[in-house]
Structure 1
Amino acid sequence: MNPLTQTGTPAAGLAPKRAYELEHLLGALADPANPVGAAAILDADERAETLTAGESLLHDYGLNAEFVPPEHGGRLDRADHLVEVMRSVYRRDPVLGLGYGASSLIAGVTLWTAGNEEQTAFAARTLLDGRRIAIAFHELAHGNDMAGTEFTATAAPDGLRLSGRKEVVTNIRRADAMVVLARSDPRPGPRSHSLVLVDRASADPARLTDLPRFGTVGMRGLQLGGLRFDALPVPTAAVLGPVGSGLENALKALQITRTVLPAMASGILDTGLRLALDHLTKRRLYGAPATDLPQVRAQLAAVFADLLRAEALGAVGARALHLLPGQASVYSSAVKFEVARLLLEAMDRLAELLGAHFYLREGPTALFQKLLRDLAPVGFGHIARAACQMSLMPQLPLLARRSWSRPAADAPGDLFTLGTGLPPLPFGRLALHAAGRDPIAGSLHALADAPWQAGHADLRAAAEADRTDLIELASVCVRLTPVDLGVDAGPEHYDLVTRYVRLWARTACLQVWRHADPGTFLADPSWLRAALHRSSPGRRRPGPLPGPVEDALFAELLHRHIERRSFGLTGRALTV
């Protein structure tokens, strides 16, 4: 048994104390009398309503302080700690996670990135008072193409006039303020849009019309609506940053949210895996528990492995926001693209294991079908996985020249030592382009040449093979032309992004393992061997894990289940 679960104490620094406090306040998910337990969550979902008791509890806890930096009076000191706190919410009810939490987070980081002192002070007061700020970037007609935004901000003698529609926006009906992306110049180009902070309390209600909520398959209780602006007057001082900087600042801020939101959503898979394991350990097939069947054990171990590597990638991406903000344009897209895929595919595999029980809306597994539906937006919300591929593709040639073909500048060791402290989030140092610097993938060269302990020859061989693959990928990418990198690029060029993200993710897992504290679960090579096996090249769907690896992971999974611990990296105690 590994020391992490034997001692009952997760590795220091992986989860803040307040994550345990929030978990305790939320109470046991399985308790039918708990007003924020599974029964209450499902009842609210059937009514397509937000769980009021859950919002009241999160308000009393002061969850909004998690979205405000310390210099403004909040607790947003570390992106990885924010993720771990929010996993306690997401693992119960993703509607609460997005509706009460993440929506205001997205607006908040936009303000911390682009706002002036007066605007950020207003935002901090609003959030710390427990009120909401909506983020209105997208329009249904344009999806992730923010440059196509038709909503306008036109100059007037006394300021600006906002006109147009914003649709499918979380909390827009009940938000006290909102950040809107508007076209401030009719001419095309990167300087044609601006971000505008709208204080709804002072806005002319005759110029605003709430639009009906769109029906959705998942997130049924989410306050998801639209708003029509009819030449709404706002002062010029409402613009965040210089006029015309809207797209630039929005894309920088989204680097934070596209990193942390998928990482938070791993809490959904944690509960999905727990529900499946609960069911399969009790279900008897052929005279024995279903978990005695080799195929069932293999799939459960594989899902556990994918949850671990998803959280490892999320942790590295979150720490990179602090330590390598100039590379966040690459790493945030890699996290969103790969972590979202891992979570979605893993939940689908659990649904296969549950069979008919995965879509029941009552009984012990009833919460699973809601979680499965609510997880879907992780792949397209705020920026789609395909859009992440498109944002990565133009950077491939320069990354190949400067970082992949030869040893690059070393990545800071603290990037992979997950329990160590971090400097404040440097919102002002986020950049639109990584300038070809990729110390994570580039560290494959040093990894392959590093000394390896006896018994780890297979891991060294994997690092050496990945280095060869990275060099080959670089040789292809340096020859790409601007025509190859546009929105109409062929599938073979999108495949290059997928190939890169796979190598980046494998390297991140290798580095997390090498930097883990001895004696902890992260230092055990079993999870790493599983992660490397599950991401091997040339397979559409990886085969079963090697026997000893599967046995070790399944034993750890069962132990955590009995001990009521999370299945993610922290292994922290839960109220289940």
Structure 2
Amino acid sequence: MSATADRAAAEQVIAAARNFARERIDPEAAGWERDRRLPREVITAAAAEGLCGLLVPVELGGAGLGVSDVAEVMGALAYADMALAFSLVSHNNLAGAIAKKGADHHRSQHLGAMLDGSTLGAFLLTEPGTGSDAAAITTSAMANGDRWILNGEKAWVTNATEAGLLSVYAQTEPGSGSKGIAAFLVRADQPGVIRENAYDMLGAHASGTGGFRFDHVELDASQLFVPPGLAFRAAMEAIDIARIVVSAMCAGMLRRGLETAVDYIKNRQAFGAPLSERQGLQWMLADVATDLEASIALTRAASAALDAGDPSMGVRAAHAKKFATRVTMDGLSQCMQALGANGFRQDWPLARHLACAKMAQYLDGTTEIQNVVIARSLFAS
């Protein structure tokens, strides 16, 4: 396929995402939050639009997009609802990893169901007692002949309520740190896999976030996905992608907030004059617009670096996520203020977006972890 055809195909997927956000997500997102559920049927509908194999190569049935285009897709979806968009991020990251890092039997066994949306994927790294210290995981996978025995607990799992395929990171050699970590593909219906209740959160319930426990789960050799020595690096690569995409989703939410506030002010009057003529409101939203443009620029720079294999991409991803999450929290609050008391009502999308913006500050490394990454680059010898 020529470069022109590749670009045209990518633009078609991005356009499909915008249309899907407008027609299927936006009208229903408030209801999902009210009902506190991940809408499984919408994942299947997204798959029919080609949105479940974004990182899977074309020859394997996916869209074959780079991270820059995936970020555009997810930003378009998050404009309507970041929680549902992040569900698709987690699913797409796993599908892409299976396509590119998995063995032939992994691809033949799992990819078809992931592409058509009949199986939802989840990434299980974080644990209740470790938080951001991913290398300190205690979930164990002990070799037992030609099998593995999996025990432990995972927390803050996106798609936990509905996932059928789990990418589980476990320690195979206690005391070895990141070198002993391996990844396994575990079916959620295997004996000993215990799905916990969904978390009761401030918002973002359409992400289906919850946890899993593993009680003496027997895995056969074919379920080893990424071996020790390679898995931790693979997890960090996935997190870099997710940080960039989270930045893009924050920009999508901030754009929605800004457009909502501007449209509202254009059609309101106070004290005998249009609100749009009040310089205080104009300048407040002008600052939001500047932060939005800066956030988009940082996100695009990070995604371009990742697509090009630039070694600076990890630091660029940290800058983008740190900045985008911060200005989105602040900017959405300002946009809500511009709507007056109406900004506090759930029938406007801004309160729902504000909760997701706060969640974004924790996803794939907190703001403080981004500072660790950035500071290391500043003081590296």
Equivalent position amino acid for 2:29 in 1: I
Q: Which runs of 5+ in 2 are unaligned?
A: 1-6
Q: Which residue of the partner structure matches residue 226 of structure 2?
A: 241
**How far apart are 1:273 and its partner, in Å?**
1.2
Q: Is the 8 A contact 1:90 1:268 kept in 2?
A: yes
> Quick one: distance in 1 between partners of 2:8 and 2:286?
26
| Match of residue 164 from structure 1 | 152
- The percent identity for this pair of structures is 22
Q: Which runs of structure 2 are paired with 1:519-534 in the superposition (5 Å)?
A: none
Q: How much has 1:259 moved relative to structure 2? A: 1.5
Q: Which has the higher strand share?
A: 2
- Equivalent residue, structure 2, for 1:413: none
Deviation at 1:123, TM superposition (A): 4.3
Q: Unpaired runs of 5+ in structure 1?
A: 1-11, 29-34, 399-477, 479-576
Q: Which residue pairs with 1:461 in the alignment? A: none
Where does 1:437-448 land on structure 2 (aligned, <5 Å)?
none
Cα pair 2:128 2:153 within 8 Å, conserved = no
The aligned counterpart of 1:343 is: 328
Asked if 1 retains the 8 angstrom alpha-carbon contact of 2:54 and 2:96, the reply is no
- Alignment counterpart, residue 369 of structure 1, candidates 328, 347, 351: 351
TM-score (norm. length: structure 1): 0.61
Alignment correspondent of 2:4: none
Counterpart check, 1:197 vs 2:192: no
Task: Give the counterpart of 2:367 among 361, 385, 393.
Answer: 385
Matches within 5 A, 1:109-258: 109-111=96-98, 114-130=101-117, 131-200=119-188, 203-204=190-191, 207-258=192-243
After TM superposition, the structure 1 = structure 2 runs for residues 533-552 of structure 1, keeping only pairs within 5 Å, are none
Report the CA distance shift for 1:218/1:272 in structure 2 as closer, same or farther (over 3 A). same
Contact 2:48/2:116, CA 8 A, preserved across alignment: no
The SS at the match of 1:191 is: helix
Cα distance in structure 2, aligned partners of 1:336 and 1:143: 18
**What amino acid sits opposite 2:77 in the alignment?**
V
Question: In the TM superposition, what is the alpha-carbon distance from 1:52 to its structure 2 partner?
Answer: 5.7
CA apart distance, 1:228: 1.3
Query: Which residue does the alignment assign to 1:327?
Result: 312
1:116–1:241 contact (8 Å) kept in structure 2: no
Structure of larger gyration radius: 1
- 1:267 is matched with which residue: 235, 252, 270? 252
What letter is aligned with 1:243? P
Q: SS where residue 357 of structure 1 aligns? A: helix
Task: Give the Cα–Cα distance (whole angstroms) in 2 for the partners of residues 211 and 139 of structure 1.
Answer: 13
Distance 1:169 1:26, change over 3 A: closer
In 2: Cα distance, 1:52 partner to 1:266 partner: 25
Which AA in structure 2 matches 1:347?
A: L
2:299 is aligned to 314
Q: Which amino acid aligns with 2:43?
A: E
Distance 2:94 2:51 in 1: 15
- Whole-Å separation in 2 of the counterparts to 1:238 and 1:69: 22
The answer to whether residue 77 in structure 2 is matched with residue 92 in structure 1 is no
Which amino acid counterpart does residue 149 of structure 1 have in structure 2? I
Specify the SS of the correspondent of 1:171.
Answer: coil
Work out the CA distance in 2 between the residues paired with 1:344 and 1:128: 33
1:232-260 Cα distance to aligned partner (Å, 9 max, x none): 01123322333243222211222222112
Task: Check the 8 A contact 2:74/2:248 in 1, yes or no.
Answer: no
What displacement does 1:200 show? 3.6
Flag the 1:73–1:321 CA change in 2: closer, same or farther, 3 A: same
Count of residues paired in the alignment: 374
Q: Normalising by the residue count of structure 2, what TM-score does the alignment of the two structures yield?
A: 0.90
Contact 2:299 2:317 in 1 (8 A): no
1:110–1:250 Cα contact (<8 Å) kept? no
Sort the Cα spacing of 1:96 and 1:189 in 2 relative to 1 into closer, same or farther, 3 A.
closer
What is aligned with 2:91?
A: 104
- Are 2:50 and 2:63, in contact at CA under 8 Å, matched by a contact in 1? no
Q: Residue 325 of structure 2 contacts residue 357 of structure 2 at CA under 8 Å; is this kept in 1?
A: no
Q: For the residues of structure 1 that align with 2:59 and 2:318, how far apart are their CA atoms?
A: 28
Coordinate RMSD, CA, aligned? 2.4
Cα offsets for 1:408-433 (capped at 9, x unmatched): xxxxxxxxxxxxxxxxxxxxxxxxxx
Closer, same or farther: CA 60–129 of 1 in aligned 2, 3 Å: closer
Inter-partner Cα distance in structure 2 for 1:263 and 1:164: 33
- Find out whether 1:296 has 2:284 as its counterpart: no
Change (3 A) 1:51 1:285: farther
User: In 2, distance between residues paired with 1:257 and 1:113?
Assistant: 17
Q: CA deviation at 1:120?
A: 4.2
Q: What one-letter code is carried by the residue in structure 2 that aligns with 1:268?
A: M
Report if the CA contact (8 A) 1:36-1:53 is conserved: no
